[in-house]
Amino acid sequence: MVSLRAINKTFSSGTVALKDMSLDVHPGEFISLLGPSGCGKSTALRLIAGLGEPTSGTIDWPGTAQDRPGQIDHEIGFVFQEPTLMPWATVFNNVWLPLRLKGQAKARVRDEVMNALEMVGLENFADAYPRELSGGMKMRVSIARALVTRPKLLLMDEPFAALDEITRFKLNNDLLHLWESFGWTVIFVTHSVFESVYLSNRIVVMAARPGRVVADIAIDAPYPRE
Ligand code: ADP
Ligand code: ADP
């Protein structure tokens, strides 16, 4: 689905964020990128999303390589650590945003927006404003916003890090159910060993200074799932 080949990323400050990183992402995988703060997880995710260029190495998208970067944003949903919602807009309008940026009128995409809200269990909160929602609910809205364009690849950058443990556990379960139902490809950045083992079927472990891959492990759902 996407291939990173010998990626190096050195920032203008001189920081070597990634050293010789290679990764083949296959359709349907749920990959956790696991490692300590500063090992380059976010940098890797941003490069995959086309937010910035590697210093050397290539990122290949079979079938869309010619059209980079214009095509890529249609294929990718990105969930950031902070929900980054527009506070002045309703939940509906926040989720509509990616479609609106593609020129799609609200009336035409009402069903798509409502479907995305249903996926995360917030269909009754379409008219609410972000300030009325709990942290977990705001995170659900940003997941709905990432899913509304039906991306092939969902990139999540420590999405639950700011939430309390129980909310986080609930969202982990919901994310897993969504993934099992819809079969997306997910790359999930975390420094939680628990999350990576619980959620993913492949764990890519990174080490810092300089950021590099030190293990790439296939795992088969060690926790029973209902
Ligand atoms: P992680 O997500 O694993 O915590 P990051 O990818 O955010 O790691 O950062 C990797 C390294 O690159 C860190 O040393 C960080 O300080 C540095 N870094 C990240 N973004 C920038 C930037 N825009 N400019 C300079 N250095 C950066
Ligand atoms: P989650 O962690 O699943 O996002 P919370 O534990 O924050 O949910 O909230 C539990 C339930 O309480 C929510 O699903 C929602 O129905 C309701 N709720 C929470 N905050 C509000 C609010 N500000 N207004 C109305 N209902 C709320």
At 171, which helix (H) or strand (E)? helix 165-182
Q: Is 50 helix (H, G, I), strand (E, B) or coil?
A: coil
pLDDT for res 225:
65
Mutate to test the pocket of ligand 2, among 117, 134, 141, 169 (most ligand atoms within 8 A of CB): 134
| Ligand 1 centre distance from Cα of residue 32 (Å) | 18
Secondary-structure percent of the chain, ordered helix, strand, coil, rounded to 5: 35, 25, 40
* Residue nearest to ligand 2 atom 12, measured at CA: 134
pLDDT for res 16:
94
pTM of the predicted structure, to 2 decimals: 0.83
Which two structure tokens, joined as six digits, stand for 177? 């159910």
- What number does the ligand 2 atom closest to the CA of 139 have? 4
pLDDT for res 63:
60
Block mean pLDDT (10 aa), the chain, length 226: 94 94 94 94 93 92 57 74 91 95 92 93 96 93 92 91 86 89 90 91 93 93 68
ipTM: 0.65
Burial class (CB in 10 A: 0-12, 13-18, 19+), 105: exposed
pLDDT for res 150:
86
167 lines ligand 2 (CB under 6 A): yes
Minimal CA–CA distance to 43: which of 19, 21, 17? 17
27-64: buried (b, 16+ CB within 10 Å) or exposed (e) per residue? eebbbbbbbeeebbbbbbbbbbbbbeebeebebebeeb
- What number does the ligand 2 atom closest to the CA of 174 have? 3
- What number does the ligand 1 atom closest to the CA of 9 have? 12
| Ligand 2 centre distance from Cα of residue 53 (Å) | 39
pLDDT for res 67:
53
pLDDT for res 92:
98
- Ligand 1 pocket list (CB less than 6 A): 11, 13, 15, 17, 35, 37-43, 211
Beta-sheet pairing, 2-10 with 185-190:
unpaired
* CA-angle at 194, arms to 209 and 179, nearest 5°: 105
pLDDT for res 64:
56
pLDDT for res 184:
87
- What number does the ligand 1 atom closest to the CA of 13 have? 25
